[in-house]
Amino acid sequence: MSSRFGLIGILLMFTCAPCFAQTQDSVLEQIQFNQKLNASNPLDSRFIDESGQPVTLKTYFQDKPVLLAMVYYECPMLCTLVINGILRTLNATPLTVGKDFDVVFISIDPDETPDLAQAKKDSVMGGYAHVSHPEGWHLLTGTRENIDAVADAIGFEYVYDAQMDQYAHASGFTVNTPAGKVSRYFFGIEFSSRDLRLALVESSQGKIGSIIDQVLLFCYHYNPMTGKYGLAINRIIRVVGSATAIGLFGLIGWFLSQERKRLGMNH
């Protein structure tokens, strides 16, 4: 399964370039976002964090779910739309970065530096509406080998356009379990805060969220075809049916008890 959500942004970015019209189809064919649910992230992959320190990806997969997005920090258009969409969704989600889950951005451009990552981190955190937890935000740079290891693992495709000196890439992000398994996909540049909340709670295996979240997870299920949560109609019908049956049996039992009392009084 794949998604091409967000490609409108790429098309707009290249509209003014006549040469792009000749290569549009071949480029778009290479930038799908293929779902690989339950795939393992390559946690031994090595990167450099925004402070210039070498790290492995497993550093960020400990006891919390992880929102992981592949972008690049000097992207002229689409990455900004994706990051802004993520921020809007995070701001509308009661769960908190750094407390309930972590956010990891990985640059797909091996030429980008930790300085660029730090500048982007400052910008992103400046737009975050909740209590700021800097330790929950991680913006990484790395070699092509390690970038591709993560991209291949999660099904993220991109291609470098030498004529435009830019990357054409898929848009969206993944939510991952603390053990590094890909749990849920979000495609495009606009995301549902309810779906993200459910995905994070589900990926944490109930370690975060409230009783209300658990009830919502019972009523909604993830649809891999759309990358969204929808009402679990069959499950709700079963619950309603069971509740109705219990109610009927209870009512019948009450009528029988009343009838026994009436007969006892007559005797």
Of 108 and 208, which is predicted with more confidence? 108
Quick check: 231 pLDDT over 80? Answer: no
Residue 236 lies in a domain: no
Asked if residue 32 belongs to a domain, the reply is yes
Side chain identity at residue 44, one-letter code = D
**pLDDT reading at 233 higher than 80:** no
Residue 102 lies in a domain: yes
Domain count, the chain: 1
d(CA 257, CA 251): 10
Q: Which residues of 87-107 are buried (b: 16+ CB within 10 A; e: fewer)?
A: bbbbeebebbbbebbbbbbbb
| SS3 (DSSP) at 161 | strand
State the pTM of this model: 0.75
- Which segment of 52-61, 165-174, 205-214 scores lowest on mean pLDDT? 205-214
Q: Which helix (H) or strand (E) holds 186?
A: strand 182-187
For residue 48, give the nearest of 133, 139, 140 by alpha carbon: 140
pLDDT of residue 31: 79
**Token pair in block for residue 1:** 């399964």
**Rounded mean pLDDT of 168-180?**
95
Residue 264 is given by DSSP the state: H
Predicted pLDDT of residue 240: 37
- Out of 10-24, 95-109, 191-205, least confident range: 10-24
> Which range in 55-59, 221-225, 246-250 is most confidently predicted, on average pLDDT?
55-59
* Percent of the chain predicted with pLDDT > 90: 58
- The predicted structure's pLDDT at residue 216: 53
Helix (H) or strand (E) holding 175: strand 172-176
Q: What is the 3-state secondary structure (H, E, C) of 58-109?
A: HHHCCCCCEEEEEECCCCCCHHHHHHHHHHHHHHCCCCCECCCEEEEEEECC
Q: How far is Cα 42 from Cα 156, in angstroms, rounded to an integer?
A: 14
Residues 132-144: what's their mean pLDDT?
A: 94
Question: Which pLDDT value is given to residue 241?
Answer: 41
Does pLDDT of 22 surpass 50? no
CA distance 139 to 214: 31
What pLDDT sits at residue 115? 98
Q: Over range 229-256, report the average pLDDT.
A: 47
Beta strand 33-34 with 172-176 is unpaired
User: Per-residue pLDDT for 205 more than 60?
Assistant: yes
For residue 122, pLDDT over 80 is answered with yes
Q: What is the pLDDT of residue 230?
A: 72
Evaluate if residue 5 carries a pLDDT over 70. no
Res 228 pLDDT > 50:
yes
% of the chain residues with pLDDT over 70:
67
Would you state the structure tokens that stand for residue 162, as one six-digit string? Answer: 């030498």
Rounded average pLDDT over 198-227? 67
Taking all residues of the chain, what is their mean pLDDT, rounded to a whole number?
Answer: 80
Please report whether residue 225 resides in a domain.
Answer: no
Report the Cα–Cα distance between both ends of the chain, in Å, rounded: 73
> Which of 66-75, 125-134, 200-209 has the largest mean confidence?
66-75
Inform me whether the pLDDT recorded for 256 exceeds 60: no
Residue 247 resides in a domain: no
Does any domain span residue 151? Answer: yes
Domain that residue 156 falls in: 2-204
pLDDT score at 25: 53
Determine the Cα–Cα distance for residues 49 and 35; give it in Å rounded to an integer: 27
Evaluate whether 57 touches 41 at the Cβ level (below 8 Å): yes
Residue 232 lies in a domain: no
| Contacts with 43 (C-beta within 8 Å, 6 or more apart), sequence order | 56, 57, 58, 61, 180
CATH number for the domain that contains residue 23: 3.40.30.10
Asked if 220 contacts 232 with a C-beta cutoff of 8 angstroms, the reply is yes
